């Protein structure tokens, strides 16, 4: 789905209400899949699902995170 925080934030900034509802539902499913994979001791799969859940959260909180990421990059250049 997403491959980076930057792509998740970019998508989230342009997402409409329908897309945001879809992201919220996907995040819930990814969290559930993470828990099931952990129960089966499939740690590699759990990490993939957990990462996607995190990217969905980042897309949903894109406006807040966009400011923070920009600040981090600006401070790193100083």
Q: pLDDT tens-digit profile of 21-77?
A: 999 999 999 999 999 999 999 999 999 999 999 999 999 999 887 677 777 778 887
Domain count across the chain? 1
How distant, in Å, are the alpha carbons of 13, 14, 52, 66 from that of 70? 14, 17, 22, 6
pTM of the shown model: 0.81
Band of the pLDDT at 14, cuts 50, 70, 90?
Answer: very high
Query: Which residue range is the domain that position 64 belongs to?
Result: 5-77
Q: Residue 37 has what pLDDT?
A: 98
d(C-alpha 3, C-alpha 49), whole Å: 12
User: pLDDT value at position 61?
Assistant: 92
For residue 78, pLDDT over 70 is answered with: no
């Amino acid at each position: 789905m997403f491959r980076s925080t930057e792509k998740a934030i970019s998508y989230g900034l342009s997402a409409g209400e329908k897309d945001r509802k879809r992201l919220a539902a996907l995040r819930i499913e990814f969290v559930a899949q993470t828990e099931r994979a952990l129960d089966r001791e499939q740690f590699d799969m759990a990490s993939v699902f957990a990462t996607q859940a995190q990217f969905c959260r980042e897309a949903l909180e894109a406006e807040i995170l966009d400011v923070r990421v920009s600040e981090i990059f600006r401070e790193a250049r100083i």
